[in-house]
Amino acid sequence: MEDQNISTIKKWISYVQNSNLGVALQYKVTLTSLKSNIRPWMTDMFNPALFSKPSVKQIPARLGENLVYFISNYVILTMLLLVLGILSQPSFLISLVAIGAVWVYLSKKEMKVYGIDVTDFQKNMGILALLVLSTFMLAGNMIIYTLFFSMVLAGAHAVYHDQPQINLKLETDLPPNTLLPL
């Protein structure tokens, strides 16, 4: 029984390692949901009439509701700030081009290290490690500062923006023993 479970687990791990279908589908679903939840920028997100100073009791409710309601807009603004920050780092752009050239070069060649064949997966993991290392060495501070700045902006916006008028079903409208949608 235990050997069968181990065999099943090994097959599942092998399938997950060799399949990008699940990851691609997950990214597509996430991007589709983000795209469909973008709120109007000028009439809803940045409308000055919808901003007011909250009382202390209103802060948690506003923060929670607005973060959920405007999440797609916050993600877009964060990505835009990251792209602008990366474009302002010429050394990082040069390293990205160099790593891309190394990846193209290595993807077309068979490689051996001390007489052992290196698989495509191992080559890609090495290049990924090089990319992560160069990213943190050359643009790590900018990325961390941008993410922090984006969180502060999103939090301030969520606190000072009036709560959106969302037409959601109340708990009383749901049949008994029904889980609430997240």
- Quick: pLDDT tens for 88-103: 888 888 888 888 898 8
φ, ψ dihedrals at 113, nearest 5°: -125, 115
181 in any annotated domain: no
Above 80 in pLDDT, residue 19? no
Q: What is the pTM of this model?
A: 0.64
For residues 50-67, average pLDDT = 88
Above 50 in pLDDT, residue 169? no
Q: Where are the alpha helices (DSSP H) in 19-47?
A: 21-36
Residues 93 and 160 in one domain: yes
Residues 9 and 31 in one domain: yes
| 110-166 pLDDT per residue, tens | 888 888 888 888 888 888 898 889 888 888 888 899 999 999 999 999 999 887 775
Instruction: Give CA separation, 79 vs 68, 75, 86, in Å.
Output: 17, 6, 10
The strand pairing partners of 117, in sequence order, are 112
Tell me the range of 62-66, 67-71, 147-151, 172-176 where mean pLDDT is highest: 147-151
Give me the domain span that covers residue 59.
38-164
98 in any annotated domain: yes
First to last CA, the chain: 38
144 in any annotated domain: yes
Residues 96 and 126 in one domain: yes
Domain tally for the chain?
2
pLDDT of residue 182: 44
Contact criterion met (CB below 8 Å) for 8 and 38: no
Above 60 in pLDDT, residue 18? no
